[in-house]
């Protein structure tokens, strides 16, 4: 038991002792009355009941016949010739009875009620202490899995982090994972051992960072902070300083590279059919989640290089578009262009559906999509054959594919790559159709080994296990 639990029990013990001690000196039972008092009580009772009193009543033993008779619930009617006893006759025993009742009530106030209160407090304490221990056990991994700054991300939102902390985590920014024209990705390790990705703009001067750049940066932080999906590389924090000029985002780290590398680079481990189906379902669940946010969010560049793989091979979508947007000359829509903005969002959602269809093609064929859309044309030719089969496009390294799943994927691809965006299905419809055929639940499609998902450890569903 911890210190707080011991303190609660000590307080309860003191309360119990004080309650018992307070009533011991005042609530002792009254001494037994003598024979003379019993005789007076007996005479009084006899007069009330109209029973003649004989001298033998004086020899009544101390117990038994001298007790006060029980009162009736209905008032007794007097006889017409009967004279009611004067009130003075009640002066002796009446005061004794009232005094006894007063003592009984005092006994109730000083003993019974405190005892009931102590029982209730004890029951409440016994109920709260296990709940408190359970709550501590739930959030314990926060303290062991994340640094002090990053713990705040799960309590108050996305935190602003210090450059010095990120500098220590990334070994003075010497641990470079990837470098692109507009941004650099560093790998960092917190003192707790949790790995993070720190993405920094290549702009090194505030003179090159315009108001448009700052607006794009902050809007992207707001957008990413609302994502909150396990198949998405979530934002953990950001850093902004003027001297030296710094704009950084801190993201989850996915150690197994991109889907593009796993599909097309021979140095990466080959992904089997079941692994690819799990990636497909993870992507479908995540994109549906993005499209159903309020307001909806469309991924600006959905392709295999924008999909990372977790340690256990689950898909993790990442959005790095902000680093290109901050150097662009585009302007956000004005207030009078709201309708046009909604049209642009709808078009972007439909474009995501098309890109998802192309991703399905790339995943099952192992072939690169090209600007000339020859892969899409080949897929349409296969689908438009009599048996509507996708076997002609299937990756030859896949020896364990399932015909029924492949057939459904072919139909979904055909629906997604319709030239008219209005004829393309929603992601909710696509996800429902794929799940019915493939049978991988949202839980089974999410990473199981990521240290950042301390809140709940998930296992594959029974459907996937079978």
List, by residue number, the catalytic residues: 301
Nearest residue to 152 via CA among 243, 250, 289: 250
Q: Find all residues with CB under 8 Å of 208, minimum gap 6, and list them.
A: none
The residue to which tokens 């707001």 are assigned: 222
Query: Within 13 A of 107's CA, how many CA atoms are on the CB side?
Result: 10
For the range 269-274, what are the long-range contacts, defined as Cβ-Cβ under 8 Å and sequence gap of 24 or more? 270/397, 271/313, 272/398, 272/400, 273/398, 273/400, 273/401, 273/402, 274/400
Q: What is the dihedral of CA 275, 265, 186, 231, to 10 degrees?
A: -20
Q: Find all residues with CB under 8 Å of 438, minimum gap 6, and list them.
A: 277, 280, 281, 405, 408
Strand-pair category, 195-201 with 176-179: unpaired
List the structure tokens of 152. 């705040």
Q: Find all residues with CB under 8 Å of 265, minimum gap 6, and list them.
A: none
Give the total residue count for the chain: 466
Q: Report the C-alpha gap between 289 and 304 in whole angstroms.
A: 19
Q: What is the dihedral of CA 354, 355, 357, 361, to 10 degrees?
A: 140
Q: Find all residues with CB under 8 Å of 274, minimum gap 6, and list them.
A: 400
What SS3 state is found at 195?
Answer: strand
């Amino acid at each position: 038991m911890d210190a707080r639990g011991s303190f609660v029990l000590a307080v309860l013990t003191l309360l119990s002792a004080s309650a018992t001690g307070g009533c011991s000196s005042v609530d002792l039972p009254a001494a037994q009355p003598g024979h003379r008092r019993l005789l007076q009580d007996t005479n009084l009772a006899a007069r009330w009941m109209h029973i003649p009193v004989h001298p033998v009543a004086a020899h009544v033993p101390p117990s038994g016949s001298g007790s006060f008779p029980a009162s009736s619930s209905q008032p007794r009617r007097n006889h017409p010739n009967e004279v009611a006893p004067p009130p003075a006759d009640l002066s002796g025993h009446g005061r004794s009875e009232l005094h006894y009742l007063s003592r009984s009530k005092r006994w109730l106030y000083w003993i019974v009620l405190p005892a009931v209160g102590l029982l209730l407090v004890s029951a409440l304490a016994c109920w709260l202490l296990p709940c408190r221990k359970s709550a501590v056990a739930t959030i314990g991994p926060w303290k062991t899995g994340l640094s002090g700054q990053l713990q705040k991300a799960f309590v108050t939102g996305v935190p602003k982090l210090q450059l010095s902390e990120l500098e220590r985590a990334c070994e003075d920014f010497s641990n470079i994972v990837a470098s692109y024209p507009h941004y650099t990705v560093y790998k960092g390790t917190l003192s707790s051992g949790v790995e993070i990705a720190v993405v920094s703009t290549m702009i090194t001067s505030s003179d090159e960072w315009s108001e448009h750049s700052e607006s794009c940066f902050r809007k992207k932080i707001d957008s990413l902070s609302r994502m909150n999906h396990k198949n998405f590389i979530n934002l953990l924090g950001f850093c902004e300083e003027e001297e030296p000029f710094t704009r950084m985002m801190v993201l989850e780290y996915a150690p197994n590279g991109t889907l593009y590398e796993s599909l097309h680079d021979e140095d990466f481990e080959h992904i089997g059919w079941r692994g690819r189906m799990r990636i497909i379902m993870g992507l479908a669940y995540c994109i549906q989640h993005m499209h159903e946010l309020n307001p909806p969010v469309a991924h600006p560049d959905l392709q295999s290089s924008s999909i990372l793989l977790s340690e256990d091979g689950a898909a993790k979508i990442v959005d790095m578009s902000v680093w290109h947007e901050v150097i662009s000359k585009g302007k956000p829509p004005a207030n009078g262009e709201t309708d046009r903005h909604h049209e642009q969002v709808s078009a972007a959602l439909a474009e995501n559906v098309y890109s998802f269809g192309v991703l399905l093609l790339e995943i099952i064929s192992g072939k690169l999509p090209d600007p000339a859309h020859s892969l899409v044309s080949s897929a349409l030719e296969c689908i438009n054959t009599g048996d509507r089969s996708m076997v002609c496009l299937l990756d030859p390294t896949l020896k364990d594919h399932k015909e029924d799943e492949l057939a459904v994927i072919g139909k979904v691809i055909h629906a997604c790559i319709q030239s008219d965006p209005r004829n393309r299905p929603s992601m909710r419809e696509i996800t429902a159709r794929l799940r019915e055929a493939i049978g991988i639940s949202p839980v089974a499609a999410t990473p199981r080994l990521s240290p950042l998902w301390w809140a709940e450890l998930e296992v594959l569903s029974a459907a996937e296990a079978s």
